[in-house]
Chains A and B, each alone.
Chain A
C-alpha cells in the first residue's frame, strides 16, 4: 500500500493531501472510544481509586491482590471449564446440524431459521427464561439451579449451546456449501465411506469455518457475562475458612463486575487489574487458537 502511494504521481499526492480529512473522523472515534479508555484502563490497574479522577499510583499491588484472590482463581478455572466444554459441544453440534441440513433434506430452510432464532434473543432475557425452565424442572426434584454448582454449570452449557449453535451452524453451512460436489463424488468413487469422506475430505476443506467458529465460541465462552448473571448470578456460594465467599458458578467477567461494584470501593483497582489480566488471557488464547487452526486451512 505504502509503496503504491510513494510513487509520487499527482493522483497519489492528492490522495495523501486529503487522506487525513477522511481518515480523521474514524481515527478520532477509535482513539476516543477505544485507545484512550484502554490506556486509561491499564493505568488505573496500577492505581488505587474510587472514581477515575482521584487515582493514586500503587504499583503492582492490585495485580498481587487479584492473583491472590481465591474467588478470581476459582472463576478462572470455572470459566476455562465452561469455555472448553461449550467450545466442543457447540462446534460438534453446530457442525452436525449444518451437515444434516446440507444433505438436501426437506424443510432445511425452515430448520435453519428455527435454529438461528435463539441467537436473536439477548443474553439477559435468555438467562432468565432458562432459569425459569431449569427451576421449573428441578422443582420436581425439590431443588433449584441456584443450589448446586453442577446444575449451574450444565445449565449454562445448555444455554450457551442453545444460543450459539444456530449462529455457528450458519457459518458451517456456508463452509460446507463451498466444498465442491465433484470432490465429494470423487471420494465416493475412490472408495471412501461416508465417514471417511467426512473426516478425510470434507472437514479438512471446511477448516476456515472451523477456525472462525472455534475462535468465536472460545472467546464467547471466556467473555460470557449476561447469561451468567441472569441464570445463576454466580450462586451457590461457598464460605471460605477466612469468612470470605466464593461464588461457585461465577465466571471471570462476572467476578470482575462483582469485585468492582459489590465490594468496597477500595477493591476497584483490583477489579481493574483483573480486567487487564482477563484481556491478556482472552486475546492470547484467541490468537493462539487462530494461529493453530490457520495452519490447517487449505487453499483451493
Chain B
C-alpha cells in the first residue's frame, strides 16, 4: 500500500560507442534510442504518479524502456536523474531490500535448491520473522495461490504455471507496499496465460497493494490495468484507462498498438468549412460526430491531409449507401464468432470484422477471394491523426 511517484526519471546507459569509434569497429545501431555524449538514453524523462492500490501497466514494444523503468522502481537499475518516491519517501539511493517492494520476474527466478516452502519463507527468514509467523504467512500465501500441496517440492518438479504461482507467492508473502511484475506471464503458453491473467485479477482483489506490471501484450494491459502507460523509445506516449486509450488514442502509435487486429489507417483529407468538418477518404465523405467536431474546432484545426484511423470492429458492411468504400476480398479468416475479412481497398490492406450473426450461410460464399465488398463507418468512431512524424490525434 503506497503511492509511487516518478518525477523526471531519466536513465542513461554509459556509452561504449566512443571506444568503438576509436578502435574503428562498426558501431552498434541502437534502434531509435537517442545516443548522447553521456551514453544511450533509455528513458529520457518519465513522469507518473501511481495512486495507492492502483494497478498500473507499462506496455510497449521491446526496448521501449518499460522494464528499465520498472527496474529503477525496484532499485535494480540506478536512476541517472530525477526522483523516485515510494510512500512519499525519496528512494533513489535506497537499496532494493529497504524499499519494501517485491518483484515477480519473467523467468520466475525461484531458488532451485530450496523447496517451495523455503522459497516462500526466504524473504521472511531474512527479515527475521518469528518461526510461527513465517509458517502462518507461508501457508496463507500457498492457500491463496493454490500451491499448498506442492510446498515440499523443489521448483524443478513444478510446471511453468505452478512455478509462476510460487514466484507470486514469494512476492506477496511479506505484504510489500508495491508489487512489481516484469512480464510475469510471457513464459506461459496461451491457455495458461489467460488463466493466470484471471488469477492476477482475483489476487489483486484479495491483497491490498500497489501493482506495477510490465508487459508487451496489449491484451494483458487492457484487461489488468486500472491505467495503462503506453511507451515507445523510452517516452510515454499516453497514460489512461484502458477505455480511454482504446477510444481516444493520443497518436498513431498508440492507435496502432492498442487493439487487435490493428486499427486500419487511410490517407484522407480533413476539410473545414466554418465550424463544420468533414473527412474525404476515397470517394466517401464522412462527417465526424458533433463531439469530435467540437474538439477539432476547440483546437482550431485547419483543413489538412490526415491519417484516418478506423478500428476493424467499427467498420460495417454496407450496400448502396453514398458514403461507402469498395474493396476486394484478399483473405478471410474464420475466428468463430466473427470473420476477419482482409480487403484490398484504396491500395492497402483493410481489415473488417464481420460478426457471424450477420452472415447467412457459409462465410466463404460471401467472402471468397476476389469478391467485391462495400463497407462504411460512422463519424463517431473515426480517429484523425496529423501527417507529421508524431501522428498526433487532432482532437487532443
Q: Encode contact with B along A183-194: 1 for CB under 8 Å, 0 otherwise.
A: 101111111110
B96 touches A189 (CB 8 A): yes
Query: Shortest beta-carbon distance, A13 to chain B, in Å?
Result: 39
B168 to chain A, nearest CB (A): 12
Whose C-beta in chain A lies nearest to the C-beta of B114? A204
Q: Is the CB of B105 within 8 A of A190?
A: no
CB within 8 Å of A: which of B71-110? Answer: 74-76, 95-97, 101-103, 105-107, 109-110
Looking at A185, A191, A193, A298, the one whose CB has the most chain B CB atoms below 10 A away is A191
Is B31 in the interface zone, CB < 8 Å from A?
no
A190, B156: Cβ atoms closer than 8 Å: no
Q: Is A299 part of the binding interface, using a Cβ–Cβ cutoff of 8 Å?
A: yes
Interface residue A182 (Cβ < 8 Å from any Cβ of B): yes
| A188 touching B127 in the complex, CB below 8 Å, given contacts A182-B109, A205-B112, A300-B112 | no
* Residues of B within 8 A of A (CB-CB), count: 24
Most buried by B among A183, A204, A207: A183
Known contacts A188-B96, A190-B170: does B76 contact A201 (CB below 8 Å)?
no
Chain B residue contacts of A205, Cβ below 8 A? 111-113
Q: For B170, what are the chain A residues with a Cβ–Cβ distance below 8 Å?
A: 186, 190
List residues of chain B with CB within 8 A of the CB of A183: 109-111
Q: Which residues in A have their C-beta under 8 angstroms from that of B154? A: 298
Shortest beta-carbon distance from B91 to chain A in Å: 13
A284 interface contact, C-beta 8 A: no
Select B126's contact among A180, A192, A300, beta carbons within 8 Å. A192
Q: B39 to chain A: which residues have CB within 8 Å?
A: none
A244 within 8 A of B: no
Known: A185-B76, A185-B105, A300-B156. A192 touches B112 (CB 8 A): no
A-B contact count (CB 8 A): 66
How many Å from the CB of A101 to the closest CB on chain B?
A: 19
The answer to whether the Cβ of A196 comes within 8 Å of any Cβ in the partner chain is: yes
What number of A residues sit within 8 Å (CB to CB) of B? 21
Q: Contact string, B103-133, partner A, CB cutoff 8 A, digits 1/0?
A: 1011101111100000000110011000000
A residues less than 8 Å from B106 (CB atoms): 182
Asked whether, in the complex, the Cβ of B76 is within 8 Å of the Cβ of A188, the reply is yes
* B107-A189 in contact (CB<8A): no
Across-interface contacts of A200 in B (CB, < 8 A) = 122
* New A-B pairs, 13, CB < 8 Å, besides A188-B75, A191-B127: A180-B109, A182-B105, A185-B96, A186-B109, A187-B122, A188-B97, A189-B74, A189-B102, A190-B123, A191-B97, A192-B122, A204-B113, A300-B112
In the complex, the 10 A-B pairs of residues with the closest C-beta atoms, listed nearest first: A182-B109, A298-B113, A190-B123, A186-B109, A204-B113, A191-B126, A191-B97, A182-B105, A298-B112, A189-B96
Report 25 cross-chain contacts, Cβ distance below 8 Å, ordered by A residue.
Answer: A182-B107, A182-B109, A185-B74, A185-B76, A185-B105, A186-B111, A187-B122, A188-B75, A188-B76, A188-B95, A189-B74, A189-B76, A189-B101, A189-B102, A190-B122, A190-B126, A191-B123, A192-B97, A200-B122, A207-B113, A298-B112, A299-B112, A299-B156, A300-B112, A300-B156
Give B residues with C-beta under 8 Å from A.
74-76, 95-97, 101-103, 105-107, 109-113, 122-123, 126-127, 154, 156, 170
